[in-house]
Structure 1
Amino acid sequence: MMFSVIKVRGNSMAPCLYDGDFVFIIHRYLNLNVGQLVVVNHALYGLIIKRILHIHDNGNYWLEGENEESIQPNKMGWIPPSLVVGKVIYCICAHRSHTR
């Protein structure tokens, strides 16, 4: 499957995404860039949606949420590309819709 729809749980990405919103992700992409939203299958936290803050020379990603409710980046650690489930390409939000 190339695309998936995932329901947002929690408000760690507010004001960008809120609990109950839906995001469309693409599983096959050419590259990821700083600032893009990704879905990651983290060993401790399960499926999480975060923003790419830095990309290491070795290709690993440093991620962050949008507010203080989010898991701190140092607790997530560097994320290898193999844990990235997909890139967020669209959001269906309560009372609004927009692309990322």
Structure 2
Amino acid sequence: MFPSLRSGDFVIATRLYISISVNDIILVRHPEYGYIIKRVTQLCLEKGAWLVGDGQRSVSSEQMGWISLDLIDAKVIFSIKRKA
């Protein structure tokens, strides 16, 4: 998620969210990639969420495909930058 999040940053996330919206940053349990943090760019009730990473080296949306809403583990509500 660089540049929004860097390696070593801390995130505070909640599993008690009411809804997911476009531009939310979420934690997903992906069956192939494990736990990943991505940004929501599209939502579709039938397909789920379309996600992107903010960094160029991120796993692409095309590689992940649509993510079932059941795989969303938490919604990031705050981040703490690591000290340089």
Normalising by structure 1, what TM-score? 0.79
Which consecutive residues of structure 2, in runs of 5 or more, have no partner in the other structure?
A: none
Instruction: Find 2:30's aligned residue among 20, 23, 42.
Output: 42
Q: Which residue of 1 aligns with 2:44?
A: 56
1:70 to 2:58 alignment: yes
| Count of residue pairs the alignment pairs up | 83
Offset of residue 59 of structure 1: 5.8
Give the C-alpha shift of residue 78 in structure 1. 0.5
Per-residue CA distance 1:35-61 (angstroms, 9 max, x = gap): 000000000000000000100142600
AA at the equivalent of 2:46: N
Unaligned runs of 5+ in 1: 1-12, 96-100
Greater relative contact order (CA < 8 Å, ≥ 6 in sequence): 2
Q: For 2:58 and 2:9, how far apart are their aligned partners in 1?
A: 16
Identity among equivalent pairs (%) = 36
Aligned amino acid, residue 66 of structure 1: D
Q: TM-score, normalised by structure 2?
A: 0.93
